C-alpha cells in the first residue's frame, strides 16, 4: 500500500474546493446573471443537478467510468453501489489515495459538468424535464466520455490527453448546452438583464478560487505538477479576463464588469485540459487565446446563428475546452507533465487531440439531441408562455427572490 497522507490532505481540500465552486460559485454566478423573477429557479437547477448526479455516481457512475473496460467504450458494474470497497483501500487509479477519496473527488467533477449546462437553459426550462435530462445526460454522455479518456477507454489508448477536463467537462457541457439551447428555442425576452451583477462577480471569484482544486487537485498528489497547474491556472485567468475586457472595450467602447469576469472564466476553461502539461509561458498564451477566441465566439457566432445560449456555456466552456485541449499538442512541456508538444519538437500529440475533440463533440451532440427528444415525449422540456412571462420562481417553486419583483 502506497497511501500518502499529505496527498490525501491535498485531494480532500481540492474536493472541498470543487464542491464550493459548484454549489456556491456556479449557482451564484448564474443566478446573478438571471432576471430577477427567475433567480431562485436558476439556483435550484444548478443544485438539483449536482445532487442527482452525485447519487448516480455512487450507484453506478463511478463503476461505469473507472471499473474495468468493455471494448474501450464503458466500464463494468464491479463497483455498483460501491460494492466491495473499504474506506481504507487504496484507489486503483491512484494508489497513493484512499479509494473513497478518489471517488469523492471524481464525483464533484461529474456533478459540476451537468450543472454547468444550466446556464444555457435559464428562464425557460421545465424543472421536471431538467431532472430527467440530468439523469440521462450524466448516464449516457458524461460517464462514457470520462471513461474514454480517464478510465482506460479508447481515447486513452489513442493517447488523447486531458489533464482536468477540457474535453470530459467543458466540451461535453458546452456541446450539450448548445444542442439543448437550440432545441429549447430562444427566450421570449431574449436579452440579459442581470438581477444582481455583484452576486455574479462574487460567484465568478468563488469559481476561480475553486479552480485551484479542479486543476491543482487533478495531479492527484501534492507535487510540483500540482503547484504548476494551480499557478498557470491563475495566469490564464488573469490574462483571459484582461483580454476579454480590452476586446470588449475596443468593440463596444466600454469595459464592463461582466466582460472581465466572463474573461476570467474563459481563461480558466481554456487552461483546464492543459494545466498539468504547460509552463508559465503556455499558461499566459492559453489565457490570451481563450479570452480572445471565446469573446469572438460569443459576440459573432451567437449573433450570426441566433441561438439562445443564455449565459454562453458553449461560447465559453465548449469553445474554451476544445481550444485548450488542442493547445496541449503545441505547448506541452516534458519537464511539467512528462510529454512534449510541437513547439518542443514533438508533433505526435496533434492527431490524438484532434480525434478526441471531434469524437467527444459528435458523440455529445448526437446523444444530447436524443435525450432532449425522449424527455420531451415524457414531459415538455419548455415551460408554458404564462410561466415564462410571470417568472419561474413563482410559477414553479412558489417563491420570489425579491418581493417587489413579479
Residue 152 region, left (φ>0) first, then alpha (ψ -120 to 50), else beta? left
Distance CA 179, CA 198 (A): 30
Summarize pLDDT for 149-162 with one digit per residue, the tens.
999 999 999 999 99
On average, the pLDDT of the chain sits at 97
Give yes or no for residue 184 having a pLDDT over 60: yes
Q: pLDDT category, 204, cuts 50, 70, 90?
A: very high
Instruction: Name the residue with cell 453506478.
Output: 60
Q: pLDDT category, 192, cuts 50, 70, 90?
A: confident
Q: How many CB atoms lie within 10 A of CB 59?
A: 13
Crossing angle for the helix pair 280-296 and 319-331, nearest 10 degrees?
150
Distance CA 204, CA 247 (A): 19
What's the whole-model pTM score?
Answer: 0.97
Which of 118-122, 303-307, 399-403 holds the top average pLDDT?
118-122
CATH topology (fold) of 5-397: Ammonium transporter fold (1.10.3430)
Give the per-residue pLDDT at 1.
Answer: 61
- CA-to-CA separations, 17 to 110, 213, 304, 319, in angstroms, rounded: 14, 5, 37, 24
Summarize pLDDT for 235-278 with one digit per residue, the tens.
999 999 999 999 999 999 999 999 999 999 999 999 999 999 99
pLDDT, mean of residues 343-347: 97
Query: What percent of the chain has a predicted confidence (pLDDT) above 70?
Result: 99
Distance CA 394, CA 387 (A): 8
First to last CA, the chain: 60
Give the per-residue pLDDT at 404.
Answer: 59
Give yes or no for residue 288 having a pLDDT over 80: yes
Amino acid at each position: 500500500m502506497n497511501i500518502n497522507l499529505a496527498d490525501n490532505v491535498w485531494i480532500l481540500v481540492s474536493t472541498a474546493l470543487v464542491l464550493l465552486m459548484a454549489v456556491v460559485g456556479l449557482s451564484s454566478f448564474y443566478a446573478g446573471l438571471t432576471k430577477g423573477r427567475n433567480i431562485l429557479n436558476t439556483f435550484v437547477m444548478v443544485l438539483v443537478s449536482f445532487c442527482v448526479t452525485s447519487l448516480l455516481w455512487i450507484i453506478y457512475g463511478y463503476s461505469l467510468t473507472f471499473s474495468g473496460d468493455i471494448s474501450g467504450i464503458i466500464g463494468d458494474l464491479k463497483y455498483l453501489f460501491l460494492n466491495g470497497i473499504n474506506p481504507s483501500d487504496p484507489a486503483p487509479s491512484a494508489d497513493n489515495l484512499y479509494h473513497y477519496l478518489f471517488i469523492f473527488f471524481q464525483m464533484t467533477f461529474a456533478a459540476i459538468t451537468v450543472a454547468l449546462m444550466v446556464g444555457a437553459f435559464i428562464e425557460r426550462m421545465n424543472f421536471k424535464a431538467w431532472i430527467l435530462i440530468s439523469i440521462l445526460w450524466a448516464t449516457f454522455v458524461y460517464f462514457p466520455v470520462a471513461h474514454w479518456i480517464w478510465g482506460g477507454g479508447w481515447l486513452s489508448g489513442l493517447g488523447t490527453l486531458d489533464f482536468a477536463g477540457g474535453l470530459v467537462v467543458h466540451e461535453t457541457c458546452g456541446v450539450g448546452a448548445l444542442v439543448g439551447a437550440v432545441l429549447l428555442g430562444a427566450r421570449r425576452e431574449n436579452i440579459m438583464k442581470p438581477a444582481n451583477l455583484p452576486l455574479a462577480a462574487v460567484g465568478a471569484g468563488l469559481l476561480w478560487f475553486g479552480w485551484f482544486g479542479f486543476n491543482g487537485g487533478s495531479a492527484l498528489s501534492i507535487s510540483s505538477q500540482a503547484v504548476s497547474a494551480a499557478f498557470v491556472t491563475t495566469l490564464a485567468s488573469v490574462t483571459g479576463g484582461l483580454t476579454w475586457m480590452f476586446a470588449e472595450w475596443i468593440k463596444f467602447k466600454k469595459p464592463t464588469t461582466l466582460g472581465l469576469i466572463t474573461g476570467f472564466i474563459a481563461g480558466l476553461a481554456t487552461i483546464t485540459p492543459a494545466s498539468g502539461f504547460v509552463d508559465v509561458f503556455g499558461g499566459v498564451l492559453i489565457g490570451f487565446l481563450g479570452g480572445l477566441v471565446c469573446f469572438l465566439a460569443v459576440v459573432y457566432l451567437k449573433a450570426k446563428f441566433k441561438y439562445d445560449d443564455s449565459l454562453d456555456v458553449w461560447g465559453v466552456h465548449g469553445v474554451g475546452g476544445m481550444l485548450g485541449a488542442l493547445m496541449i499538442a503545441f505547448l506541452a512541456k516534458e519537464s511539467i507533465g512528462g510529454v512534449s508538444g510541437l513547439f518542443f519538437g514533438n508533433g505526435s500529440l496533434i492527431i490524438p487531440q484532434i480525434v478526441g475533440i471531434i469524437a467527444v463533440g459528435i458523440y455529445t451532440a448526437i446523444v444530447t439531441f436524443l435525450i432532449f427528444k425522449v424527455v420531451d415525449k415524457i414531459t415538455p422540456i419548455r415551460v408554458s408562455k404564462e410561466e415564462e412571462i410571470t417568472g419561474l420562481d413563482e410559477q414553479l417553486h412558489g417563491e420570489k427572490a425579491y418581493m417587489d419583483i413579479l
